[in-house]
Amino acid sequence: MIEIPLPEMFEVPPPAGSCLDVEEHQHREHIIRIEFYKNVAGRYFVWPYIKQVYQSGDTIEHFQVIKEFANKDAARQTALDRGRELIDRN
């Protein structure tokens, strides 16, 4: 039997239809899209993307925020900070 170790922290996409809310925030020529979810314990988590709009179409790429939050504001701020950091790095 072959055993494959799992990474210590990994993400599994949330189930379809379980999103509570979606927000989009402009940063430079990009849009940070944040999908909000709640886990069974009632804590928030986010599934965020960086989106760029072109004349020929859009690109969208998920980035990780592996953390749970007590409220939506904290979840939003963390996703925005991480998204801005990734955009500014390029």
Q: Which residue has the higher pLDDT, 15 or 47?
A: 47
Task: Give CA separation, 52 vs 10, 20, 87, in Å.
Answer: 25, 23, 10
Of the candidates 79, 86, 51, the residue with the CA atom closest to the CA atom of residue 65: 79
pTM for the model stands at 0.84
Six-digit token pair at 38?
């709640």
Domain 21-89 part of CATH 3.10.450: yes
Domain spans, the chain = 21-89
- For 30-82, the three-class secondary structure string (H helix, E strand, C coil) is EEEEEEEEECCCCCEEEEEEEEEEECCEEEEEECCCCCCECCHHHHHHHHHHH
Q: What is the pLDDT of residues 49-88, one digit of tens each?
A: 999 988 888 899 999 998 999 999 999 999 999 999 999 9
